[in-house]
Amino acid sequence: MSTTAVVPWVLGAAWGVPLARPIARRAARVEVAARATSLVSAPGVRQLRPVRWAPLAAWWSDHSDGVVLRVVRSLRSRRGARGADAALARDLPVAVDLLGVAVGAGCTPYLAVEVAAHWSPASVAAAFDDVMRSCSLGLDFEHALDAVALTTPRLRPLADALLATDRLGVPVGPVLARLAEEDRTALRRAAEAHARRIPVRLLFPLVFLVLPAFVLLTVVPGLAAGLGRL
């Protein structure tokens, strides 16, 4: 048998044994459980332990599907919340710059939020749309901004700056420029932290996939050829 024909068999054995081990263990546990069940159900055997655990087993059989669904939904909701927060953090500097341009052009905070609701990215425009909708329903601008800041804490500094301008007439342009710069700095630091985590994530495929494949494709054929000459 040639070396090129041996390599696929070696690769298959190297990856098949670790993958088949959990299946074999599961089969052994199932076989042991089946034997124990047959012994318990035999006549003359006292059924103390099954009766003790029967309510728990019945509850698990009735509620296991619901537990799994709740766990899956919780994980999905957390992932969706993290994705929405990341999108908001990414788009917020653009919206803050847009507010600064609107205020610098002479718009009041209310009109600036209306302009930003129309032209901002979708993740931030949704919050501004909530403010405008609340104002159209009769809520004043201050409480509408407070309500949005409560539901979206990331918008709290921006809401405070707009409220200070609306209440006291403080120039908001420099404050908005500072907020946009801070948001961009936070994004840059998050990107750098994510880049530093990439080598750690690459360790698993490098150690368990690339290196074994390199050994099997380079060292094993040489060893097989050397053994074939003996």
Of 157, 184, 197, 193, residue with least CA distance to 89: 184
**What distance in Å separates the CA atoms of residue 70 and residue 151, rounded to the nearest whole number?**
24
Q: What per-residue confidence (pLDDT) applies to 50? A: 47
**What distance in Å separates the CA atoms of residue 151 and residue 149, rounded to the nearest whole number?**
6
What residues of the chain score a pLDDT lower than 50?
40, 42, 45-51
Q: What per-residue confidence (pLDDT) applies to 185? A: 92
Whole-angstrom CA distances from 102 to 107, 115, 155 are: 6, 7, 18
pLDDT in tens, 5-20: 555 565 556 566 566 6
In this structure, the chain runs to a length of 230
**What distance in Å separates the CA atoms of residue 117 and residue 133, rounded to the nearest whole number?**
11
Q: What per-residue confidence (pLDDT) applies to 189? A: 92
Which residue type sits at 4? T
Provide the percentage of residues in the chain whose pLDDT is more than 70: 66
Main-chain dihedrals φ then ψ at residue 227, nearest 5 degrees: -70, -30
Q: What per-residue confidence (pLDDT) applies to 19? A: 60
Helix (H, G, I), strand (E, B) or coil at 66: helix
Sign of CA dihedral 114, 116, 119, 124: negative
Helix (H, G, I), strand (E, B) or coil at 51: helix
**What distance in Å separates the CA atoms of residue 4 and residue 168, rounded to the nearest whole number?**
81
Structural tokens at position 25: 């263990």
Structural tokens at position 12: 């298959």
**What distance in Å separates the CA atoms of residue 100 and residue 174, rounded to the nearest whole number?**
8
Q: Where are the alpha helices (DSSP H) in 41-121?
A: 48-104, 109-119
**What distance in Å separates the CA atoms of residue 13 and residue 36, rounded to the nearest whole number?**
34
Q: What per-residue confidence (pLDDT) applies to 51? A: 46
**What distance in Å separates the CA atoms of residue 6 and residue 226, rounded to the nearest whole number?**
14
